Amino acid sequence: MRIVSYQPELSPALREVTGNVDYTDFRATLERIARLLIDSGVESEFVRSHMEAYEKDLVAHAESLGKTPRQISEKERGKVQEHAVKALRCNIVRELTDESARRLSVRLADSELLQWFCRIDRMDVVRVPSKSALDRYEKLVPEAVVRKLVDHLNGVAASTNADGQAMFDLRKPLDIDALFLDTSCVKANIHFPVDWVLLRDATRTLMKAVALIRKYGLKNRMNEPAEFIRDINRLSIEMTHTRRRPDSKKARKRVLRSMKKLMKRIDGHARKHCDLLIEEREQTELTEGEAAAIIKRIDGVRELLPQAIRQAHERIIGGRKVANADKILSLYEPDVHVLVRGKAGAEVEFGNTLLLAEQRQGVIVDWELIKDQAPADSKMVPGSLDRFEDVFGSLPGAMAGDRGFDSKRNRNRLEKNGVYNAICPRSVSDLRERMKEEDFAQLQTRRAQTESRIAIFKNGFLGRPMRSKGFVHRENRVAWAVLTHNLWVIARLPLAEEQAEELDAVA
């Protein structure tokens, strides 16, 4: 893939700002990250990946029309590369500041520092990406591309140059001799999955879609959509207050039966309007793509509606439990699971299991967001070791984790590959014996910091909660968060010149 040189537009120099140490630290971190992106080759790798995808899209589009793909001019190639650089840096800033797309767009318009970092500062007019553009930047490349960038950054940071010095002018390369594992839950951005609340959500989605269809002149005989939303809200309020009544069980059953009757009418109106849109779309101003989006929205909810009604019936009227595997937790997030982790303040969580593996300095060297119901922690160890070996060319010298990662299979695997087993054993007597080993005790003490690393990563980079919708987008968001987190950690590591200054001061 050929990368061309292009002339960046003239931009003003950053002004010196004093009196705020937090700003000074944040600016120094951004300047260091900007240098890392260039020196590590992460920026050029991202540009190359985006150019490959751009050319493939052009070829696919030409083939669909039966035409010969056009040649990309040097000017166009430079514009595409400039766009990729801006997208990469905007994504990093978004993870670093934990801002929504809307708020980040405002902050970019207001901050000279962020404009400089994102390469949008100009002498005349500053063109700030809109909230929609920032959202598209995050989905510009798939998760596999971002993972390659992280692996590339970690590999360079753990290596040395021809003179034996650490890369990026660090005091020492990343220590990849020990690997520390832990798992956590990435909570989905959904409300608590109460059964009858799913019916309220379905009503709102279906009636808003129906109102949109009716706006373009396609109408079937019915009351106004807002009236159905009002009715389901009234029943929801009534359901909420039944719990305080002496006959709460009977009252809940009565309200749910009213909800079921209302949902039958709502489902029928949604189906009829969807059929109208399919048959008479050409008579409206809606494009084919816009109509397809509305139809998809209606069909997605209607497909799950019978199961949601049955689930509410089983639990409220039938008084029977529904297995976790059969539950609908959200009408919009099908890949969310019930995770019973027994944590303080979070006995049950709703989301996806996340595996994180860090090295001694806090850089994340491996991760995996589990789409399906997560397996036991012990079953994640072989995959993590294989991915580590693919990136660094060898296995770590030691591996540490809590007792959930312990199993006979893992003990045999680590012993066979010469990896020191610092995973906490399940047996209390075995743990007492192993704590007598100095190396084991030190690694277990260091492993306790991985809990803090997960908290920093989830609260500082992923967001509370993570706003991305759909598993593919959540997985992509996790990858961008790992890249930004590692850049942030490496940017704050001690530099070789700082060590030299300290030695000179002592001398």
**Is 350 within 8 Å of 334 (Cβ atoms)?**
no
Q: Measured between alpha carbons, how far is residue 20 from residues 25, 115, 506 in Å?
A: 9, 19, 29
Does residue 400 lie in a domain region? yes
Same domain, 345 and 484: yes
* Residues pairing with 398 in the sheet: 178, 420
> What is the pLDDT, as a whole number, of residue 36?
95
Cα distance between residue 54 and residue 87, in whole Å: 14
Same structural domain, 86 and 185: no
Residue in 496, 504, 339, 489 with CA at minimum distance from that of residue 29: 489
Instruction: Pick the last residue of a domain from 291, 306, 326.
Output: 326
Last residue of a domain, one of 278, 297, 326: 326
H or E element, residue 369? strand 364-369
Residue 1 has a pLDDT of 57
State the pLDDT at residue 363: 96
In this prediction the pTM is 0.90
Task: Give the end of a domain, one of 307, 326, 345.
Answer: 326
Whether 303 is in a domain gets the answer yes
The distance of Cα 278 from the centroid of its chain, to the nearest Å, equals 35
The reply to whether 32 and 175 lie within a common domain is no
Same domain as 352, residue 291: no
Supply 276's token pair.
């109208």
Residue corresponding to tokens 């500062």? 121
- Pair (93, 230) in one structural domain: no
Please give the DSSP secondary-structure letter assigned to residue 189.
S
Are residues 68 and 134 located together in one domain of the fold? yes
Cα-based distances in Å from 2 to 5, 51, 158, 295: 10, 9, 28, 42
Q: What is the pLDDT of residue 244?
A: 79
Does a structural domain hold residue 149?
A: no
Q: How far apart are CA 443 and CA 450, in angstroms?
A: 11
Give yes or no: residues 356 and 276 share one domain. no
Number of structural domains, the chain?
Answer: 3
Q: Is residue 3 part of a domain?
A: no
Q: Whole-angstrom Cα distance, residue 399 to residue 404?
A: 13
| Residue 496 included in any domain | no
Q: Looking at the domain assignment, is residue 145 inside a domain?
A: no
User: Could you tell me the CA-to-CA distances from 103 to 24, 25, 94, 122 in Å, in that order?
Assistant: 22, 22, 10, 21
Co-location of 355 and 481 in the same domain? yes
Segments forming the whole domain that contains residue 54: 21-139
Residue 38 is assigned to a structural domain of this protein: yes
* Among the listed residues 166, 186, 116, the one whose alpha carbon sits nearest the alpha carbon of residue 353: 186
The whole-number pLDDT of residue 73 equals: 86
CB 124 within 8 A of CB 36: no
Are 205 and 245 within one domain? yes
CATH number at residue 458: 3.30.420.10
Q: pLDDT per residue over 95-124, tens digit each?
A: 999 899 999 999 999 999 999 999 999 888
Parallel/antiparallel/unpaired status of strands 420-423 and 398-401: parallel
Residues of the chain scoring pLDDT < 70: 1-2, 4, 6, 342, 344-346, 498-507
Claim to verify: residue 368 and residue 269 sit in the same structural domain: no
The closest of 477, 455, 489, 457 to 369, measured between CA atoms, is 477
Based on the fold, state whether residues 184 and 273 are members of the same structural domain: no
Task: Decide if 150 is inside a domain.
Answer: no
Based on the domain organization, do 340 and 487 belong to the same domain? yes
